Amino acid sequence: MKFLNRYNKILHAAIILIFMLAFIITNSPQILSKASAQSPPNISAFPTIKKHPEMPSGSEATAIAILLNYHGVQITKEEIGRELPTEPLPVEVNNRQIGGDPSRGFIGDPFSEQGLGLYQQPLARILGNKIPVGQVIDRSGRPFLAVLSEVERGNPMIVWVTEGLRPASITQFWWTIDNNLIQWHGNQTTVVLFDFDADSVYVSDPNTGQIEAYNRVVFERIWRDVGSRAIGIDITASGTPTATSTPDIAAPDTSGGLNYEEERRKILREIERQRDPSLVDEAGDEDANQDGAVKGVPSIVIWVVIIATFIFLASFTTLLILTLKANKKAQDNQQQVASDTSQEQDDDMYN
């Protein structure tokens, strides 16, 4: 029984240790925490510009103006808007939507309600024309930590999210003349991220013309959903642009880790299903099953929980078996003692 008690104590200690480890892992900081997080940012010192009413679809041009104004370059959103290269809006050609490339220029007109927007590459080139060579920084496709690191160094970043952090929604798609698939989030916009703390990020929002505080976790998720795009200015940098500076204009835009060929096949399958609902698509069923899976949970946490559960069940089963064996042995001993006692009493009686 002493062995059983010792084993029981060790088991309890192991279970407590495992769950403490799981708790530490699940609650450890996954993103950067600023030393200045205890004090709120000085939001009154950061410039704000509203895109309305002059540029109803010009959040990118307005964000560029905000960033340049912060760095001492006096320029208006309208001036930036007139400098933006433009690309055609999507039109149907032979039953196929053909349109411009947002990595080359603005889709439509930023001064119009019908304008769509553009990606980071054209904006990086405009910034490069306004500041010394090598000071444009592009953190598109990098972890959100890389963006926060730049902000912590004093480099506000233009980032792509959605208006009001509403869920990202692909509202249309088209192909460029180079046969690249473009998937457009109809509610995407740009803001200038200039500060953050443990719970919030602080941005100058062209849509409201005000400083806004957004939930940090939600902000990061939306930022990833619309492509993980971020550019800024590092006034301390000099010399030749690095590999993370302005991307090659001819390079297909793959920031955000999207597999465009796979996405194109999915869209084509969906078009075929709409034309003929009787079609059965095994690959589409797989996609649906994957969409129903648990998302956003770190794999290490899942493995810790699985291992902890396995150890607990195995230990509990072992303990139960040992307990049953000990009880059986104790019962056998009691029966043996009772039998011996009865035998002795019988012997005494006969004697």
pLDDT digits (tens, 9 = 90+) for 230-274: 999 998 886 443 333 333 333 344 434 445 455 555 555 655 555
pLDDT number for residue 107: 98
Instruction: Give the mean pLDDT of 98-103.
Output: 97
- State both tokens at 145: 């930590």
pLDDT computed for residue 315 by the predictor: 76
Reported as a single tens digit per residue, the pLDDT across 188-240 is: 999 999 999 999 999 999 999 999 999 999 999 999 999 999 999 998 886 44
Highest mean pLDDT among 31-45, 181-195, 242-256, 270-284: 181-195
Q: What is the mean pLDDT of residues 305-334?
A: 79
Contact 52, 71 (CB under 8 A): no
Question: In CATH, what class is 31-258?
Answer: alpha beta
Contact 26, 301 (CB under 8 A): yes
Half-sphere exposure of 256 (CA within 13 A, CB side): 24
Which pLDDT does position 135 carry in this prediction?
Answer: 94
Q: Kindly state the percentage of the chain with pLDDT values over 70.
A: 66
pLDDT band at 94 (very low <50, low <70, confident <90, very high): very high
Which residue matches tokens 């403490």? 20
Res. 149: pLDDT tops 70: yes
Burial class (CB in 10 A: 0-12, 13-18, 19+), 89: middle
Q: In what order do the strands lie in the sheet with 210-215?
A: 136-138, 230-233, 157-162, 188-196, 200-205, 210-215
Residue 204 is predicted with a pLDDT of 98
Which one of 40-54, 271-285, 321-335 scores highest in mean pLDDT?
40-54
Cβ pair 19, 308 in contact under 8 A: yes
Q: What is the token pair recorded at 291?
A: 């969409």
| Residue matched to tokens 């069940």 | 313
How far is it, in rounded angstroms, from Cα 245 to Cα 158?
A: 14
**Weakest mean pLDDT among 1-10, 90-99, 136-145, 285-294:** 285-294
pTM of the model: 0.63
Name, of 27-41, 141-155, 298-312, 319-333, the range with top average pLDDT: 141-155
Nearest-angstrom CA–CA distance, 18 and 312: 9
Q: Give the 3-state secondary structure of the chain.
A: CHHHHHHHHHHHHHHHHHHHHHHHHHHCCCCCCCHHHHCCCCHHHCCCCCCCCCCCCCHHHHHHHHHHHHCCCCCCHHHHHHHCCEECCCEEECCEEECCCCCCCEECCCCCCCCCECCHHHHHHHHHHHCCCCCEEECCCCCHHHHHHHHHCCCCEEEEEEHHHCCCCEEEEEECCCCCEEEEECCEEEEEEEEECCCEEEEEECCCCEEEEEEHHHHHHHHHHCCCCEEEECCCCCCCCCCCCCCCCCCCCCCCCCCHHHHHHHHHHHHHHHHCCCCCCHHHHHHHHHHCCCCCCCHHHHHHHHHHHHHHHHHHHHHHHHHHHHHHHHHHHHHHHHHHHHHHHHHHHHC
What are the boundaries of each domain within the chain?
A: 2-23+301-350, 31-258
pLDDT of residue 330: 78
The mean pLDDT value of the chain amounts to 79
Least confident segment among 79-83, 180-184, 341-345 = 341-345
